[in-house]
A = this chain, B = another copy of it.
Amino acid sequence: MRILIVNPNTTASMTATVADSAARVANAGTDITAVTSSMGPVSIEGYYDEAFAVPGLLLEIAKGEKASAQAAIIACFDDTGLDAARALANIPVIGICEAALATTSFIAQRFTIVTTMERSRQPLEHLVHRYGMAGRCNVRAADIPVLSLEDPASNARDKLRHEIGLALRDDRAEAIILGCAGMADLTAELRNEFNVPVVDGVACAVKQAEALIALGLTTAKSGAYASPISKPYKGMLEMFEPRLMMGG
């Protein structure tokens, strides 16, 4: 099985964190390619950053599908560009937020996402609602910049721990979902520390991608995910249209 993981921000060190998390849970026969988007912001913190991360993300999805990937994963917890990617690709595409929610729903009735910035809280609450988990899943923000997770000198991880503690005490959370791809390496440590299930969306998405490939299931193309209609582009953006860039 060949699975593509796209980090839609342009920070290669975060891609490495993601790749490590994926490798730890992938099946023996699964070949994972983790790529960093070549265009856009170094981190995705809120709606604006998402907007500029999407074209580069879609380009990587298109390249990956051409290179025979059988499923693609978008490794940002906002599920950035997921709908557009599903319309573009014929292979299944999975967001790490939806993968984490679906997986956690099998092992807990109530759970809390702990994410980074307050401004990401509302977009995640919209996802939780759309994925049918409103009423089971709260969203908290630890008020930490995404890239601070990589900085040992910051107190980001302490803030994250503090917020997990509040979730367990005040939300009746039975499990914790880490709400940022950059937290993937903390999973095992936090499980031991808090003694509850702690869920990393990247790892979940890898297993869901393997599942869809094994089940022979690909995105339904009769509704909103119908393949894009080929049409003229104007201006400089044309050069980013994946099908054009890929020669297709």
Name A's B-contacting residues (CB within 8 A): 10, 25, 27-29, 37-43, 45-52, 54-56, 58, 81, 83-84, 86-88, 92, 94, 98-99, 102-111, 118-123, 126, 129-136, 145, 172, 174-175, 191, 196-197, 199, 203-204, 207-208, 210-212, 214-226, 228-229, 231-241
Contacts and interface: CB of A to CB of B under 8 A. Distances in A.
Nearest to A71: B106
A19 B131 CA distance: 31
Most buried by B among A37, A42, A102, A123: A102
A107 B39 contact: no
A54 to B, nearest CB: 5
A119 B40 contact: no
A211 B211 contact: yes
Given A103-B211, A212-B103, A215-B25, A40 B234 contact: yes
B220 A196 contact: yes
Contacts of A208: 103, 106, 211
Copies of this chain held together in the complex: 6
Contact of A51 (B84, B216, B231): B84
A104 to B, nearest CB: 8
A242 to B, nearest CB: 9
A207 to B, nearest CB: 3
Contact of A47 (B87, B103, B121): B87
Contacts of A108: 219-220, 223, 225
A181 to B, nearest CB: 16
Contacts of A41: 231-233
Contact of A240 (B119, B225, B237): B237
A234 B132 contact: no
A226 B45 CA distance: 10
B51 A81 contact: yes
A42 B106 contact: no
25 contacts: A10-B234, A25-B214, A39-B233, A41-B233, A46-B224, A47-B84, A47-B87, A47-B224, A55-B237, A87-B119, A102-B102, A103-B208, A103-B211, A107-B217, A108-B223, A109-B122, A118-B226, A121-B224, A123-B224, A132-B136, A172-B223, A174-B220, A191-B216, A196-B222, A236-B240
